[in-house]
């Protein structure tokens, strides 16, 4: 077996770029809302900018089928090269877009187009890299391999927050709105070039080669999946749902909440989130390492139960609107997210046979992120305004935790 550790850099650098864009959009949501939408109502503008964010996820079901098909028919490597190329181009374009004041209503349309392209590429990136690395890892290292991918995601968030902090700290408000917010997006182009070069030098997935050698390659992986694994695919979507909500709440809603908070400055919010993302990078890999020792089921169940018990506490701490309470909210979110992110990928991958693994995991993961995750920031704003309480979004987190718990036990029952 070839050394799977040689694949780590090539797999992780794309995920760093993917979520690097996510956190940029979260941090600069208040700036983007003022530059790309009418300024009459701040709440409406904020909901609109989160809606544009969600629009990038609406295309994920189509991207899931596309990149799943490419991965199962043409190889995991080709799918990863295509996904990172598309991500680098679309992210760079966001930093070059003209504003609402410059071109009117065409500005948000172009922003939506870029988000759609990003959403398409994300489908092949997150799951593609995870499948590629886990398939090549030894059986007793699969959880750790999957956790490395998600650890790289949080490192990308950390990197984005640090770069954003440096830019906002060195610029006045006028320069920040004029050019500063664009620079981190444009920087994505150079990360993309490095990722493409590295991935072209990697070898193909060992598991995929076995499918080819065994004559199991399918002409229509999606059709085969729907005929034989539809029920498991639906359960897998439910399994992903809690992680999806926690990811988007942690990486998009909370940074924006800090940014518009009266009690916390922009610089302080970035330092808080940078601390949280760095902590998540380490914690998720620690859980991955532990999951290979005790099994992946225990951390996943723990994440569901802990989310039900502690979601209210997280939003209660946010309501206090202080640096200390916000740090504790970040720490709890890191624990909740790390428990599921460090253990979920081997569960997902082992639901489907290798010949449709790319299609099955892509569809389950991306539909979960679309329906449960991308809507989480919008629902958080909506619930907070509707119930006049920052604690209201905790109800959504609790409900989704129950969905994941039911899906997990259903999958375990069907496996026996």
Ordered by start, the domain boundaries in the chain are 4-415
Residue 305 pLDDT more than 70?
A: yes
For 142-167, give the DSSP string.
Answer: HHHHHHHHHHHHHHHHHHHHHHHHHH
CA distances from 335 to 30, 254, 299, 328 (A): 28, 15, 10, 11
Cα(219)–Cα(213) distance, rounded to whole angstroms? 15
pLDDT computed for residue 304 by the predictor: 95
- Weakest-pLDDT range from 115-129, 190-204, 259-273, 400-414: 259-273
pLDDT computed for residue 1 by the predictor: 46
Mean pLDDT calculated for residue range 103-123: 80
Residue 185 pLDDT more than 60?
A: yes
- Residue 195 has a CB neighbour count (10 Å cut-off) of 28
Mean pLDDT calculated for residue range 347-371: 90
Residue 256 pLDDT more than 90?
A: no
Look up residue 116 and give its two tokens. 């759609």
Cα(134)–Cα(16) distance, rounded to whole angstroms? 18
pLDDT band at 120, cuts 50/70/90? confident
Residue that is written with structure tokens 């609402």 in the block:
100
What's the mean pLDDT when you consider all of the chain?
83
Cα(149)–Cα(58) distance, rounded to whole angstroms? 23
CATH topology of domain 4-415: Growth Hormone; Chain: A; (1.20.1250)
Determine the length of the chain: 416
- Weakest-pLDDT range from 48-57, 80-89, 155-164, 317-326: 48-57
Residue 56 pLDDT more than 70?
A: no
Q: What is the DSSP letter of 220?
A: -
Cα(180)–Cα(95) distance, rounded to whole angstroms? 10
Residue 360 pLDDT more than 90?
A: yes
Verdict on whether the full-model pTM lies above 0.85: no
């Amino acid at each position: 077996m070839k050394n799977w550790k040689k694949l780590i850099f090539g797999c992780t650098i794309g995920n760093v770029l993917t979520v690097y864009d996510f956190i940029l959009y979260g941090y600069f949501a208040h700036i983007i809302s003022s530059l790309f939408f009418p300024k009459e109502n701040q709440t409406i503008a904020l909901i609109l900018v989160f809606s544009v964010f969600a629009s990038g996820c609406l295309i994920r079901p189509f991207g899931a089928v596309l990149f799943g098909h490419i991965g199962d028919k043409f190889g995991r490597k080709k799918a990863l090269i295509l996904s990172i190329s598309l991500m680098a181009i679309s992210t760079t374009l966001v930093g070059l877009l003209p504003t609402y004041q410059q071109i009117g209503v065409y500005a948000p349309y172009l922003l939506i187009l870029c988000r759609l392209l990003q959403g398409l590429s994300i489908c092949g990136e997150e799951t593609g890299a995870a499948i590629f690395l886990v398939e090549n890892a030894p059986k007793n290292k699969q959880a750790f391999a999957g956790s490395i991918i998600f650890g790289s995601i949080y490192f990308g968030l950390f990197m984005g927050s640090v770069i954003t902090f440096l830019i906002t700290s060195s610029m006045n408000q006028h320069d920040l709105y004029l050019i500063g917010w664009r620079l981190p997006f444009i920087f994505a182009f150079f990360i993309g070039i490095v990722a493409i070069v590295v991935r072209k030098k990697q070898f193909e997935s060992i598991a995929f080669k076995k499918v080819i050698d065994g004559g199991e390659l399918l002409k229509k992986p999606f059709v085969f999946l729907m005929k034989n694994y539809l029920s498991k695919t639906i359960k897998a979507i439910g399994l992903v749902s809690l992680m999806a909500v926690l990811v988007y709440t942690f990486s998009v809603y909370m940074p924006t909440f800090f940014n518009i908070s009266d009690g916390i400055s922009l610089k302080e919010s970035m330092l808080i989130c940078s601390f949280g993302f760095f902590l998540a990078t380490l914690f998720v890999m620690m859980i991955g390492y532990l999951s290979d020792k005790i099994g992946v089921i225990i951390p996943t169940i723990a994440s569901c139960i802990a989310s039900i018990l502690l979601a209210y506490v997280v939003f209660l701490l946010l309501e206090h609107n202080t640096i200390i309470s916000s740090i504790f909210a970040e720490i709890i979110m890191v624990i909740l997210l790390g428990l599921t992110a460090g253990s979920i990928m081997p569960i997902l991958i082992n639901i489907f046979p290798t010949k449709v693994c790319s299609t099955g995991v892509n569809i389950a993961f991306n539909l979960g992120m679309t329906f449960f995750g991308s809507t989480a920031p919008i629902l958080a704003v909506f619930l907070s305004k509707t119930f006049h309480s920052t604690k209201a979004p905790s109800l959504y987190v609790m409900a989704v935790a129950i969905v994941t718990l039911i899906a997990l036990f259903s999958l375990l029952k069907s496996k026996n």
